[in-house]
Amino acid sequence: AQSVTQLDSQVPVFEEAPVELRCNYSSSVSVYLFWYVQYPNQGLQLLLKYLSGSTLVKGINGFEAEFNKSQTSFHLRKPSVHISDTAEYFCAGRTGGFKTIFGAGTRLFVKA
Amino acid sequence: DGGITQSPKYLFRKEGQNVTLSCEQNLNHDAMYWYRQDPGQGLRLIYYSQIVNDFQKGDIAEGYSVSREKKESFPLTVTSAQKNPTAFYLCASRGPTNTEAFFGQGTRLTVV
């Protein structure tokens, strides 16, 4: 079955600390992998995507993610978070077809 | 500017009424999607359309209907048959050379 699993529903972290948001995927959705960010009452904005090639992908706002085929993971990281990073983050995957499968989301809460 | 416009941003509906959510894109994308978002459940696919005059049911199509008469428009009707329609609805589109979907700002529907 196709699935994307985000292992943490909420992640609280202090400002300027590093953060990792975890995502595992099933092999059937591993062709393309994405991380999106959603601010309250807004749509989703693409942070980064993995298509092929280098397993370390850099995105906007200082985020990066590492594709790990052996562990079927695509974890999102940022070395130093800001208050403005408080949002919900979605991991997603797509095969070559038309459907994108989304994880349940991880709410990142950055504390001062 | 190119993008996806959803309207209205907030919508209130009485029980037993049908309502239509608008989604318009000027990105010249062929594929369009409707998702429903509930807290802690991520995004669930309602309907999608790969081309004008064609659409397919997603994972939770019951109680919803769509049309695709024009490339730029993909309205969603929430019918009285939808038992729990209160949710945040997101429209997205994707072009043939894009790997990721682009999202509108969403419509929050509340049944009163």
Mean pLDDT, rounded, for B72-99: 92
Length of chain B (residues):
112
A71-109 confidence digits (pLDDT tens): 999 999 999 999 999 999 999 998 767 788 899 999 999
Closest CA to A25 of A93, A106, A76, A89: A93
Q: Does B101 touch chain A (CB under 8 A)?
A: yes
Of the partner residues A41, A46, A102, the one whose CB lies closest to the CB of residue B100: A46
Mean pLDDT, rounded, for B41-46: 91
* Residue A45 vs residues A16, A40, A59, A85, B78: alpha-carbon distances, Å: 23, 12, 11, 13, 25
Q: Does residue B72 have a pLDDT over 80?
A: yes
Residue B111 backbone phi and psi in degrees, to 5: -95, 125
Mean pLDDT, rounded, for A38-62: 92
Q: Does B106 touch chain A (CB under 8 A)?
A: yes
Task: Please list every residue in chain A whose beta carbon sits closer than 8 Å to the beta carbon of residue B31.
Answer: 98
The β-bridge partners of B51 are B54
* Residue A99 vs residues A6, A39, A90, B31, B45: alpha-carbon distances, Å: 18, 23, 15, 10, 8
Q: Does A46 touch chain B (CB under 8 A)?
A: yes
Q: Does residue A47 have a pLDDT over 80?
A: yes
Q: Does residue B1 have a pLDDT over 70?
A: no
H-assigned helices in chain A:
none
Nearest C-alpha of chain B: how many angstroms from A110? 19
The structure tokens listed for A12 are 């609280």
Are B99 and A49 in contact (CB < 8 Å)?
yes
